[in-house]
Structure 1
Amino acid sequence: MTGQTSSSMPKGMEWRSSTAFIISTVAIGMFTDLFLYGLVVPILPFILVDRIHVPPSEVQYYTSMLLACYAGAQVLFSMVAGYIADKVPSRQPPFLFGLAALFASTAMLFWGKSIPLLILARLLQGMSASVVWTIGLALIMDTVGTAKLGVTIGSIFSMISVGELAAPPLGGVLYKKGGSIAVFGIGVGLLGVDFIMRLLVIEKKTAATYGLVSESGEEDEEEGEASETSPLLSNGRTKQEELEMWRVPENQPDWIRNLPILYCLGNTRLLVSQLLAFTQATLLAMFDSTIVIEAQVLFGFDSLKAGLIFIPQILPCLVVGPLAGRAVDKYGARPIATLGLIFLSIPLVLLRIPHAGGAAEIAKMSAILSLSGIGISMISAPSIVEASYVVEQYHAANEDFFGKQGPYGQLYAMSSIAFSAGLTVGPVAAGAMRNSIGYGNMNAVMAGFCACVSLLAWRYLGTIPKKIDSI
C-alpha cells in the first residue's frame, strides 16, 4: 500500500499535503506574480528617469519595450514550462525555479542601473509568470480534479484579481511616499511568504506513497456524484459512448505526439475557453491603465485618492468569485460565462455617464466600477473549468496518446499565453482608443466586444466535439 515507511515521513505531512494548503500555496504564488507585475508598471517611467537617466523623450519607448519583454518571455516560455511540467515526476522543482527567477528579477529591478539589466529583469519576471501559471494550475488540477475546480479557481482568481487591480495604484502611492525601496520592500516580503509555502508544500501523489491519500487526491470519493450531476455530460449516452466522442485517431504526426495539446486545439470549446481568459485579462489591464487617469482628469485625484477608487471594484471580486465558481461546478461554464459577459457589458456602457464634479459623480463611478467587478469575477472560473474538462475527456479516452499525467501542463501553458496576451493588448488598445475616440466610447467598444464573446460562449461552450481525423 505504501512505498515509504512512516519513520521517513516528512514532518507535517498531513497539513503540508492537505488540499487547503496546496490551493493556498498556488493562490499566493499567482497573487505574488500578478501583484509584482502591477506594482512595477506605474514606477517604470520614474526608474528610467531617476536611476537610468533616460531622456524624457525616450521614456515611452523604453517603458513599452520593457512591458513587451515581460509579455514576450511569458508567451515564449509558457509552452516550455508546460512540456516540462508534463514530463517531470514532481511539480515542485519547476515551481521553485519559477520563484527563483522572480527573486532574481526583483533584485535586478531594485539594483539595476542599466537598460540591459532592466531588460533581463523583465525577461526573468515573464519567465517566472509562465512557470507559476502553468505549474500552479496543473497542481490544482492534480489536487481537486474537475469536480470542484470551479469553486477553487473562482476563489483563487478573485484573490489574484484583487492583486492585479490594487497593485498599480499602490505602487504609485508607495513610490511617492517612500521611493523605490518602499515598493520593493513589500515585494520582497511577499516573495518571502511565497518561498516558504512553495518549499513546504507536498503534492498528493507524494503523500500517496506514504498511504495518506489516494494519488488522485481527496476528491476521488466524490467523482461518482460529480459525474452523475455534471451538466457538461450529454444525457442519454453511456460513459463508453461519451469517451468515443473524444477518441483521437491513431494517424497523428510526430509533432502532435510530442505536443499532444495541439490536437486539442481543433476543439472549438477549448478555443473559446482561451478567448474567455484573453477577455478577462484584457479588461483587467484596461481598467488598470485608464481608471487612474480618468479619476485624475474628472475629479482631480492625486495618486492616493486615485488608488482608492479601485476599492469598489475589488470588493465584489472577493465575494462573487467563489460563488460564480460554485455555480460553474453545478451548472456548467456556458450559462455562467454568457451571463457574466452580458452583465459586464452593462457597466462598461455606463462608464460614459460620470463627468467632472464632486461627491455625486464620484459615487456614480464607484457604483459602476462595483458592477464591473461582479462581471469580471463571473468570467474567471468558466475559462479554466471548461478547458480542463475538455482536456480531461481527451485524456480519459486516450491515455496512451496523452500519457499518464495528461497534457495539463501544456493546457495551462496555453491559458498563460492567452492571459498574457490580454495583459499586453489591454493597455495598448485602451490607450489608443481613449486617445482617438474618448474614454466613454472606448468602454462602449469593449462592451460590444464582451457581447460578441458572450454569443460565442453560448454557442460553443459545453458542446460535444466533432471528431477530428488529424491535424
Structure 2
Amino acid sequence: MAATTQPSTAGGAAQLRGRSLLVLLICCCSIFIVGLDTSALNVALPSIQQDLNASIQGAQWTIDAYTLVLASFLILSASTADRIGRRRVFQVGLAIFGLGSLLCGLAPSLGWLIAFRVLQAIGGSMLNPVALSIISNTFTDPRTRAKAIGVWGGVVGVSIAAGPVLGGLLVQAFSWRAIFFINVPIAVTAMVLAGKYIRESLAARRQRLDPVGQVLLIAAVGALTFGIIEAPMRGFGSVPIIACFGVAAAAFVALLWWEFHHRDPLIDLRFFRSPPFSGAAAIALLAFTAQGGFLLLNTLYLQDALGFSPLGAGLAILPMAALMAVVGPISGRLVARYGPRPSLTLGGASVLIAGLITVIPRTDPSYPRLFVVYVLIGFGLGWINAAITNTAVSGMPNRQAGVAAGITSTMRQLGQTLGVAIIGSIIAAHVTEVAQTPAFMSAYHVSWAVIGAIGLANLVIGVATTSARAQRSAQHNADRMGAAARE
C-alpha cells in the first residue's frame, strides 16, 4: 500500500511546486512590463518630442503622468485587492494595463498619449503590490517565500537594465510606439494564465477604504509635480505656480491631520515614529529621485547633445542598469548578514562620488569619465535599493510588514516622478532646445550637483537611522503598535 501512495504524494508535491513556480513566473511577467515601460520610454523621449512636436515639459509628462498616478494608487490597489480578491484585481490590472498600452501606441497627439498613460498607470498600480501579496500567499514557507520575493525583486532590476537597450532597439528598428505595443501580448497572456493557475485569496483583516486620504494624496503630489514642471515656463513667481505650491502644501497638511484622526488611514502615521522606517521612506524617495532624474538627463544628453542613436544611448546607459541588477542580490545577502547600514553607506557614497566627478571638473565629460560615472551611479543605487525594504520593515509587527513595504514602494514611485520633474525643470530653465550645447551643459552640471547632493543626504540618513539607538526606538514603536492592536 505504501508503495502505491508514495508516488502519488510525491507527484502531488511536484505538481504543487510546479504550480507555485508558474504563479511566480506570472507575477514576475507583470512587474517586468511595468518596470520596463518606464525605463524604456526614457530612451524614446527625443523621438516622441520630434514625432509629436512636443516641448521638454510635454515629454516629461509622458513619464510623470504615469509615475504620479502609479504612486498615488499603489496603496489603494493593495487594500482593494485584500477586500475583493487579489487574483481578481490582478487580472483587472493586467487588462487595463494592456488596453492602456495599446492606446498609447495608437495615440495621435501628445495630449492623448498622456491621457492613455494615466489609464496605463491605473492598471500598473494593481500589479506591483498585488503580485507581491499573491507571491506571499502562494509561498507559505518563510525560507521559500524569501527566495521567491528575491527572484521577484531581481526581475525589477532586470527590467531596468533591459529597458534602455530594448527601448533603443525598438525605437531604432520601428518607432517609439513599439515600446507600448510589446506590452499587449504579455499582458493578455499573463491575464489568461492568472485566471487558470492563481488561486483567489483575501486578507484576514480587510482595511476599510479611505477616499478622503486618497484624494488628498493625489492633490498634494499632483499639484507639487505640476508646479515643478511648469515653473520654468510660467515663472516661479507667477500666480498659477504659486497657487500650485499652495494647494500642495494645504493638501499635505490636511492629509496629515486626516490620517492622524482616521480610524483606518491610507497611510498609518505611527510607522514614521520608527527611525529605520522614516529613514527608509526618505531614502527611497531620494534615491529614486536621483534615478528618475539621471535617466531623463542622460537620455537627452546622449541623444541630443552627443548625437547618439536611441540604441546607442540605451547601450551607453547599460553599465548603470546592469550594475543595479548585479549588485542588488549581493546587497540583499549583505543586509541579511550585517544589516542595512553597510549597503546604505556604500550606496550613498557612490552616488555622491558620481556627482562630484561630474561637477568639479567644469569641462565636458569624456567617454571614459562618463563610463565611470554610470558605473558609480548604478553601483550606488543597487546597494541602496536592496536595503530599503529591509530597513522599512525592521522592527515592524509581522502583520504590518506588507503595509510598510507598500509605503516604501509608493515613495519609490514618487521619487521617480519628482526626479523627472526637478531635472526636467532645470534643463527647461536653461535651454529652449536641448541641442543648444553650451546652455545644456550648464544645466547638465547643475543637475549632477543635485544628484550628488542626494547621494550625500542618503549617506547621512542611512547612517543616522540604522544605529543601535534607532533600532531600539523601532522596537519600542513596534511594541506600542502591537499593544494598541490587541486592545
Query: In structure 1, what is the Cα distance between the partners aligned to 2:136 and 2:36?
Result: 23
Relative to structure 1, the CA distance from residue 345 to residue 191 in structure 2 (aligned partners, 3 Å threshold; closer, same or farther) is same
Aligned equivalent of 2:280, options 273, 279, 285: 273
Assess if the C-alpha contact under 8 Å between 1:282 and 1:424 holds in 2: yes
Relative to structure 1, the CA distance from residue 266 to residue 110 in structure 2 (aligned partners, 3 Å threshold; closer, same or farther) is same
Q: Which residue of 2 aligns with 1:288?
A: 295
Q: Which residue of 2 aligns with 1:85?
A: 81
1:14, CA displacement in angstroms?
Answer: 1.2
1:70, CA displacement in angstroms?
Answer: 2.1
Asked if 1:164 is matched to 2:160, the reply is yes
Q: Which residue of 1 aligns with 2:129?
A: 134
Equivalent residue letter for 1:161: G
Equivalent residue letter for 2:461: L
1:205, CA displacement in angstroms?
Answer: 7.7
Q: Whose relative contact order is higher, 1 or 2, with alpha carbons under 8 Å and at least 6 apart?
A: 1
Q: Which residue of 1 aligns with 2:407?
A: 414
Aligned equivalent of 1:186, options 177, 182, 185: 182
Q: Which residue of 2 aligns with 1:341?
A: 348
Asked if 1:96 is matched to 2:91, the reply is yes
Relative to structure 1, the CA distance from residue 194 to residue 269 in structure 2 (aligned partners, 3 Å threshold; closer, same or farther) is same
Relative to structure 1, the CA distance from residue 91 to residue 445 in structure 2 (aligned partners, 3 Å threshold; closer, same or farther) is same
User: Counterparts in 2 of 1:375-390, with a 5 A limit?
Assistant: 375-390=380-395
Q: Which residue of 1 aligns with 2:28?
A: 27
Assess if the C-alpha contact under 8 Å between 1:152 and 1:325 holds in 2: no
Assess if the C-alpha contact under 8 Å between 1:296 and 1:306 holds in 2: yes
Equivalent residue letter for 2:28: A
Query: In structure 2, what is the Cα distance between the partners aligned to 1:187 and 1:253?
Result: 40
Assess if the C-alpha contact under 8 Å between 2:49 and 2:56 holds in 1: no
Aligned equivalent of 2:471, options 438, 459, 463: 463
Among all aligned residue pairs of Structure 1 and Structure 2, give the percentage whose two residues are the same amino acid. 20
Query: In structure 2, what is the Cα distance between the partners aligned to 1:98 and 1:192?
Result: 11
Q: Deviations over 1:53-95 (max 9, x none)?
A: x6x4x6445444444432332233223112223334x532212
Aligned equivalent of 2:370, options 343, 347, 365: 365
Query: In structure 1, what is the Cα distance between the partners aligned to 2:287 and 2:86?
Result: 27
Assess if the C-alpha contact under 8 Å between 1:150 and 1:382 holds in 2: no
Query: In structure 2, what is the Cα distance between the partners aligned to 1:262 and 1:86?
Result: 20
Relative to structure 1, the CA distance from residue 387 to residue 203 in structure 2 (aligned partners, 3 Å threshold; closer, same or farther) is farther
Relative to structure 1, the CA distance from residue 160 to residue 96 in structure 2 (aligned partners, 3 Å threshold; closer, same or farther) is same
Match of 2:471, SS state, is coil
Equivalent residue letter for 1:101: I
Match of 1:36, SS state, is helix
Query: In structure 1, what is the Cα distance between the partners aligned to 2:58 and 2:296?
Result: 17
Query: What TM-score, normalized by structure 2, do the two folds share?
Result: 0.69
RMSD: 3.8
Query: In structure 1, what is the Cα distance between the partners aligned to 2:277 and 2:141?
Result: 17
Query: In structure 2, what is the Cα distance between the partners aligned to 1:144 and 1:204?
Result: 15
Q: Deviations over 1:261-299 (max 9, x none)?
A: 343233232221122222332222122112233334664
Equivalent residue letter for 2:390: V
Relative to structure 1, the CA distance from residue 59 to residue 456 in structure 2 (aligned partners, 3 Å threshold; closer, same or farther) is closer
Relative to structure 1, the CA distance from residue 332 to residue 312 in structure 2 (aligned partners, 3 Å threshold; closer, same or farther) is same
Assess if the C-alpha contact under 8 Å between 2:168 and 2:313 holds in 1: no
Query: What TM-score, normalized by structure 1, do the two folds share?
Result: 0.71
Q: Which residue of 1 aligns with 2:331?
A: 324
Asked if 1:314 is matched to 2:321, the reply is yes
1:141, CA displacement in angstroms?
Answer: 4.5
Assess if the C-alpha contact under 8 Å between 1:105 and 1:122 holds in 2: yes
Assess if the C-alpha contact under 8 Å between 2:86 and 2:200 holds in 1: no
Q: Deviations over 1:13-68 (max 9, x none)?
A: 513543x5444433332221021233345546756875xxx6x4x64454444444
Q: Which residue of 2 aligns with 1:223?
A: none
Q: Which residue of 2 aligns with 1:261?
A: 268
Assess if the C-alpha contact under 8 Å between 2:271 and 2:278 holds in 1: no
Assess if the C-alpha contact under 8 Å between 2:289 and 2:418 holds in 1: yes
Total equivalences in the alignment: 397
Q: Which residue of 2 aligns with 1:233?
A: none
- Give 5+ residue unaligned stretches, structure 2: 1-7, 203-258, 431-441
Aligned equivalent of 2:171, options 168, 175, 182: 175
Q: Which has the higher helix share?
A: 2
Query: In structure 2, what is the Cα distance between the partners aligned to 1:79 and 1:445?
Result: 29
Name whichever of 384-393 and 197-206 sits farther off. Answer: 197-206
Query: In structure 2, what is the Cα distance between the partners aligned to 1:374 and 1:351?
Result: 16
Assess if the C-alpha contact under 8 Å between 1:16 and 1:201 holds in 2: no
Match of 2:273, SS state, is coil
Aligned equivalent of 2:444, options 436, 439, 445: 439
Q: Which residue of 2 aligns with 1:426?
A: 419
Aligned equivalent of 1:450, options 434, 450, 455: 455
Assess if the C-alpha contact under 8 Å between 1:13 and 1:202 holds in 2: no
1:322, CA displacement in angstroms?
Answer: 0.9
Equivalent residue letter for 2:159: G
1:453, CA displacement in angstroms?
Answer: 2.0
Query: In structure 1, what is the Cα distance between the partners aligned to 2:64 and 2:369?
Result: 35
Query: In structure 2, what is the Cα distance between the partners aligned to 1:455 and 1:15?
Result: 44
Relative to structure 1, the CA distance from residue 291 to residue 338 in structure 2 (aligned partners, 3 Å threshold; closer, same or farther) is same
Query: In structure 1, what is the Cα distance between the partners aligned to 2:141 and 2:13?
Result: 26
1:158, CA displacement in angstroms?
Answer: 4.3
